Amino acid sequence: MNALTTASDHFELPQDIHFLNRISYGPTSATVSEVAQLGWSATLENQLDYQSIDTSEIDTTLADAFPSLELTPAEIVAAEDEELFNKLVPDLIMSTVLRQLYSPAQLYERMVEFWSDHFNMNVLDSRVRLFKITDDRESIRPNAMGKFRDLLYANAHSPAMMLYLDNYSNTKQGPNENYARELLELHTLGVDGGYNEADIVEVARAFTGWTVSRRSLTFSFRFELHDRGPKTVLGQPLENTFWGGISDGEQVLDLLASHPSTARFICTKLARRFVSDDPPELLVDEMAETFLATDGDVKALLRVLFNSESFWTSQEMKMKRPLDFLTSTVRRFGIQADKKLFSYFHSRLKQMGQVPFLWHAPNGYPDTAQYWTNTAALVSRWSTGKDTAFFLPRATFSTILAGANTPRRIIQAMSQALIDRNLDPQEHDILQHTVFEALPPDQPVNRDPVNFARVVAIALIGSRYFQMR
Amino acid sequence: MIKRRTFLKSTGLLGALPLLTPRIGWAMDGQSDNILITVFLGGGADGLNIIAPVGEGNYFDLRPTLALKAPGSGEGSSLDLDGFYAMHEAMGKLHTRFHSGELAVVQATGLTSESHSHFDSQSLMERGIASEQNILDGWLNRHLALQADQDSVFHAVGLHDSLPVSLSGDYPAISMSSIAEFGLNAPQVLELKLSETLSQLYNQNSLLDVEAGKALDAMAEMRYADPAQYEPENGAEYPDTQFGQHFRELSQLIRADLGVATASLALHGWDHHDNQTQVLPGILAELSDTLDAFALDMGADMDRITIVTMSEFGRRAWENSSAGFDHGYGSFMLAMGAGVVGGQVYGDWPGLGSNNLVFSGDLDITTDYRTVLAELLYKRFGQTDIATVFPDLIAEPELGVFTA
């Protein structure tokens, strides 16, 4: 059922573009020249060393536009400002998408998205809403290129996750299994990772007393709510230290972070995100080995991934998710988003079903073509392409056309600009006939070429080439 | 029978269809007019506080603060069904339809898998299997594939952002998140030109091409049929929620005679690990009011429409310290409309005594949910090859929820 790519092989996608399709939210003229100049290997190292990338421009813009992003939950509550509270989610969504569109640290933003999906929480839950901005700022972002173990620790201590998966009320007197189950199934081992229902009960007991302080609105461990009895997780008794308390949960996290099932689960997901829906076993094996040897070091994993043959032979094997579809359009055309445009994008993401942070369940937005390829999704993409092509200023197209004024040259210029290749002759003819009708291919058009370019652009954005990355 | 799309292509009607010809009427006979609607209650709906066994004392012991109040015990009482079971008070409209014989309930039913994972359970349930095996398509899709050729691109519709797994597979099904958004919303000349271009560009056999082909066909049909013109009838008022509006739009698709035979919808938000009393009444009212509005709206057409609900699992019999319930096992199903022998609660009651509960204290399952669906498919939709639709279903006696 997954035979997605019977795409014509006449006209290959340049490898640089393939690389940019995966490490970024879509190539731009600037990133295309950068890779051409440095080569992909040096570009990758630059992207991995994300802290050295100058992101001051986007950082300043966001800090000015969204002061709420810097606030702590306690400050938000103290402000007693309903308007501020209602802005938290839109601010987070907008700043996230703006970073994806314009931050030069593109691979880093891709990893932020990956971990936000992995540790998904739905911010429509009003309790989560208060804490998610802090979670994003203090748990996800500082660790997105770090070690999995640190991410897992940060997430387990994050009030947002504690509220989302109810661990805040998991106590000795009344255990709540929600967090324990998803910790094993979604965050670490995977559903086939070798645990059973009894392990869930034991893990839930280990995390009793992990909660959120009502006063400081930060993590707190409450000893009196903790179940101090002996516990066995995955066949291994937890070490009962003198205090018996918080170390139970920490031991579980250590056990899980270094478990071979976790290594495979995380590496499969990474390879699915960056290579293909069903990533080759060989690649997953190699990555899992690196995972276990490095405490799940994300940079090391990405190096293995991007250096693999599997990666370099996976051109256009990934279906763009709606967010990829939109960001790659914006970056392609070099569009500067203003408020009005952003609200259009937001409505489109909503229609296509991928507004960041709004997935309804703890497993995060799906990452396979099977889910995103359907009639509703395609129609939305087509109409979004149409709106975008008509919305863009004339100058955008005249720059791309650079004087092209015959059907043949208009189609070629738009193809090169939007899908990085010429259409094969048959497809070229289709556009020639449907867009230009009886006009001979090499005869100058008798109206403004931009009018034709817009229609060609809609067809190209709607075509198979633009749905894949 | 000639495939509709092939026919349209061969006659060159694809792009121009809406201007030239009404939808071609294909032969239909008897049961082929019947419409099946499935509703997935995502998150694990707590059957015990929806169809409450108020006749069993253990129920109140296990749920000291969260049990429904017995019928007739003052404000907030549950609504009596048959003396033993009572319905949550938020479902007043469905309660009325139960007693008028239009609605049936199956209790202690569900997916007989040990998995208490939402994602595993939903995936198994939508594929119609009880344990993991190499079957990737959905049970509804297999059912449809065994039947006659598709006579309309709208034959199987998922009203959803994506296509539900139950409808996925070789049989062509479409997904639609809303009628208004299902089109290019361009001037007609441009819309036809673009449709023609896209139709020619998506000329291969990948999943993407197949979906594109269906999308273009459906857009063409909708340009002609204009389902948005139909207003709800009989004073029906749908809740202004995504679920309510999906049912409203389904009624429009049916009324526009687009050939809908199977539709799948979902209502998510049943994962009530904490503070159940704050969230359960709202979502139950949404479910009840929506189904009621739909039945009212469809009026006489309800004599060919059957609605059935299911959830991936129920919830733990005993309440947790967060005033909610962890993942459980047995849950409930509703069946409403044509062929439903309503006014009864079906299924053996397994009891809530400590010897009756399974796993960590879950209501047992006495009826495989597929037994209910198999009876429905057989009696209302002429499906005789149940073994293909539900490959590992162990035959159980039917409950008699439906008549032919």
ipTM comes to: 0.91
Distance from the A322 Cα atom to the nearest Cα atom in chain B, whole angstroms: 11
Q: In this prediction, what percent of chain B has a pLDDT beyond 90?
A: 86
Say if strands B262-268 and B35-42 run parallel, antiparallel, or are unpaired: parallel
- For residue B235, pLDDT over 80 is answered with yes
Of A200, A319, A376, the CB nearest to B182: A376
Give pLDDT tens digits for A126-176.
Answer: 889 999 999 999 999 999 999 999 999 999 999 999 999 999 999 999 899
* A 127-146 residues inside an 8 A Cβ radius of B: none
Q: How far apart are CA A184 and CA A234, in angstroms?
A: 11
CB contact under 8 A, B268 and A360: yes
- For residue B231, pLDDT over 90 is answered with yes
Chain B residues lying within 8 Å of A434, measured CB to CB: 193, 196-197, 200
B138 shares contact with chain A (CB less than 8 Å)? no
CB contact under 8 A, B201 and A377: no
Chain B residues lying within 8 Å of A174, measured CB to CB: 320-322
Chain B residues lying within 8 Å of A383, measured CB to CB: 181, 183-186
Q: How far apart are CA B129 and CA B138, in angstroms?
A: 9
Strand, helix or coil at B156?
Answer: strand
- Using CA atoms in the order A273, A277, A278, A283, what is the torsion angle rounded to 10 degrees? -30
Of A178, A197, A383, the CB nearest to B359: A197
- For residue B13, pLDDT over 50 is answered with no
Distance from the B42 Cα atom to the nearest Cα atom in chain A, whole angstroms: 10
Q: How far apart are CA A165 and CA A146, in angstroms?
A: 24
Residue B50 domain flag: no
Q: How far apart are CA A460 and CA B194, in angstroms?
A: 11
CB contact under 8 A, A376 and B160: yes
Contact (CB, 8 A) for B390 and B373 = yes
B182 shares contact with chain A (CB less than 8 Å)? yes
Report pLDDT for A351: 87
- For residue B141, pLDDT over 70 is answered with yes
Q: Has this prediction a pTM greater than 0.80?
A: yes
Residue B172 domain flag: yes
Of A465, A178, A163, give the one whose Cα is nearest residue A317: A465
Which 8-state DSSP code applies to residue B128? T
Residue B12 domain flag: no
Q: How far apart are CA A253 and CA A180, in angstroms?
A: 11
A166 shares contact with chain B (CB less than 8 Å)? yes
**Residue of chain A with shortest Cα separation from B360:** A197
B206 shares contact with chain A (CB less than 8 Å)? yes
Q: Number of structural domains, chain B? A: 1
Average pLDDT estimate for A336-362: 90
CB contact under 8 A, A191 and B117: yes
A386 shares contact with chain B (CB less than 8 Å)? yes
CA–CA distance from A332 to each of A94, A397, A461, B215 (Å)? 19, 12, 11, 26
Contact (CB, 8 A) for B250 and B265 = yes
Chain B residues lying within 8 Å of A369, measured CB to CB: 207-208
Strand, helix or coil at B176?
Answer: strand
CB contact under 8 A, A374 and B359: no
CA–CA distance from B323 to each of A122, B90, B217, B318 (Å)? 20, 19, 50, 10
Residue B184 domain flag: yes
CB contact under 8 A, B181 and A435: no
B322 shares contact with chain A (CB less than 8 Å)? yes
Average pLDDT estimate for B189-211: 94
Give pLDDT tens digits for A259-301.
Answer: 999 999 999 999 999 999 999 999 999 999 999 999 999 999 9
- Using CA atoms in the order B209, B214, B217, B222, what is the torsion angle rounded to 10 degrees? -140
A437 shares contact with chain B (CB less than 8 Å)? no
Residue B179 domain flag: yes
Band (pLDDT 50/70/90 cuts) for residue A2 is very low
Bridge partners of residue A275, in order along the sequence = none
B175 shares contact with chain A (CB less than 8 Å)? yes
CB contact under 8 A, A176 and B182: no
Of A169, A191, A430, the CB nearest to B120: A191
User: Residue B271's domain spans which residues?
Assistant: 30-44+108-322+333-345
A122 shares contact with chain B (CB less than 8 Å)? no
Report pLDDT for A11: 66
Contact (CB, 8 A) for B94 and B345 = no
Band (pLDDT 50/70/90 cuts) for residue A12 is confident
Chain B residues lying within 8 Å of A165, measured CB to CB: 273
Strand, helix or coil at B268?
Answer: strand
Q: Report the half-sphere exposure of B318 (CA within 13 A, side-chain side).
A: 16
Contact (CB, 8 A) for B294 and B236 = yes
Give pLDDT tens digits for B257-274.
Answer: 999 999 999 999 999 999
Of A126, A344, A314, give the one whose Cα is nearest residue B278: A126
Mean pLDDT, chain B, whole residue set: 91
Q: How far apart are CA A402 and CA A29, in angstroms?
A: 15
Average pLDDT estimate for A430-444: 94
Residue B359 domain flag: no
Report pLDDT for B118: 94
| Radius of gyration of the CA atoms of chain A, in A | 24
- For A433, phi then psi, to 5°, come to -75, -40
| Top-confidence residue, B162 or A139 | A139
Best probe of the B interface among A4, A189, A277, A375, by most B CBs < 10 A, is A375
- For B104, phi then psi, to 5°, come to -120, 155
CB contact under 8 A, B274 and A380: no
CB contact under 8 A, A378 and B174: no
Q: What is the 3-state secondary structure (H, E, C) of B39-78?
A: EEEECCCCHHHCEECCCCHHHHHHCCCCCCECCCCCCCEC
Of A102, A24, A160, give the one whose Cα is nearest residue A341: A102
Phi/psi class of residue A189: alpha, beta or left (left: φ > 0; alpha: ψ in -120 to 50)?
A: alpha
Q: What is the 3-state secondary structure (H, E, C) of chain A?
A: CCCCCCCCCCCCCCHHHHHHHHHCCCCCHHHHHHHHHHCHHHHHHHHHCHHHCCCHHHHHHHHHHCHHHHCCHHHHHHHCCHHHHHHHHHHHHHHHHHHHHHCCCHHHHHHHHHHHHHCCCCCCCHHHHHHHHHHHHHHHHHHCCCEHHHHHHHHHCCHHHHHHCCHHHCCCCCCCCHHHHHHHHHHCCCCCCCCCHHHHHHHHHHCCCEEECCCCCCEEECHHHCCCCCCEECCEECCCCCCCCHHHHHHHHHHHHCCHHHHHHHHHHHHHHHCCCCCCHHHHHHHHHHHHHHCCEHHHHHHHHHCCHHHHCCCCCCECCHHHHHHHHHHHHCCCCCHHHHHHHHHHHHHHCCCCCCCCCCCCCCCCHHHHCCHHHHHHHHHHHHHHHHHCCHHHHHHHHCCCCCHHHHHHHHHHHHHCCCCCHHHHHHHHHHHHCCCCCCCCCCCCHHHHHHHHHHHHHHCHHHHEC
Q: How far apart are CA A451 and CA A389, in angstroms?
A: 10
For A155-188, give one letter per residue: b (16+ CB within 10 A) or e.
Answer: bbbbbbbbbbbbbbbbbbeebbbbbbbbbbbbbb
As given in the structure block, the two tokens for residue B16 are 């121009």
B135 shares contact with chain A (CB less than 8 Å)? no
For A262-291, give one letter per residue: b (16+ CB within 10 A) or e.
Answer: bbbbbbbbbbbbbbbbebbeebbebbbebb
Band (pLDDT 50/70/90 cuts) for residue A242 is low
Report pLDDT for A7: 41
Distance between terminal CA atoms of chain B?
26
Mean pLDDT, chain A, whole residue set: 94
Report pLDDT for A315: 95
Chain A residues lying within 8 Å of B274, measured CB to CB: 166, 169, 176
Contact (CB, 8 A) for B181 and A379 = yes
CB contact under 8 A, A181 and B116: yes
For B250-261, give one letter per residue: b (16+ CB within 10 A) or e.
Answer: bbbbbbbebbbb
Chain A residues lying within 8 Å of B184, measured CB to CB: 379, 382-383, 386
For A42-61, give one letter per residue: b (16+ CB within 10 A) or e.
Answer: ebbebbbebeebebeebeee
A108 shares contact with chain B (CB less than 8 Å)? no
CA–CA distance from A321 to each of A1, A186, A387, B123 (Å)? 18, 20, 19, 21
